[in-house]
Amino acid sequence: MAKRIGVYPGTFDPITLGHMDIIERGAKLVDELIIGVTTNIAKSPMFDDDERIAMVEREVAAIGCKNCRVVGFNSLLVDFAAKQGATTIVRGIRGVTDFEYEYQLTGMNRQLNHDIETVFLMAEISLQPIASRLVKEIALYGGEIEKFVTPAVRADVEARVARLGKVVG
């Protein structure tokens, strides 16, 4: 029987408790889960590629995910997945807005490579409102983010905000 490999892609800028929930649950569905850390050209990242990869590696190691591997990429998702030998893309859904975007993305990915399936996982209810974009915004305005990220990620974000400077309200 062939090894079932899945890819969970994202910018993870920063990685949140919602991402961690999807990683833990997605890892149970496949023999190997590759967390693909990419740069979204439509976003302005707080952390560079190497910093985000290191952050995700640290957080994945902290939960002891033995069948997870972190890989950086900068290509079409389906091309990256195929290169990794993956047959599944794992995507987290927080709500209807996410579903509409993911539905369109999945349709396009199927047109590009019909051998790769996409699996949607709903984030745990208490984690559904969490978005990296909002975590960064809260932190930049001096708000508390400990409910949304691990203590180590909180320290990373707070250190970056200290370097960048908080937005004065």
List, by residue number, the catalytic residues: 19, 43, 94, 132
Question: To which H or E segment does residue 9 belong?
Answer: strand 5-10
Q: In what order do the strands lie in the sheet with 68-73?
A: 68-73, 32-38, 5-10, 88-93, 117-122
CA distances from 62 to 56, 75, 151 (A): 10, 28, 11
CA distances from 164 to 46, 141, 150, 153, 160 (A): 9, 12, 21, 16, 6
Distance (Å, whole) CA 58 – CA 52: 10
Distance (Å, whole) CA 133 – CA 67: 28
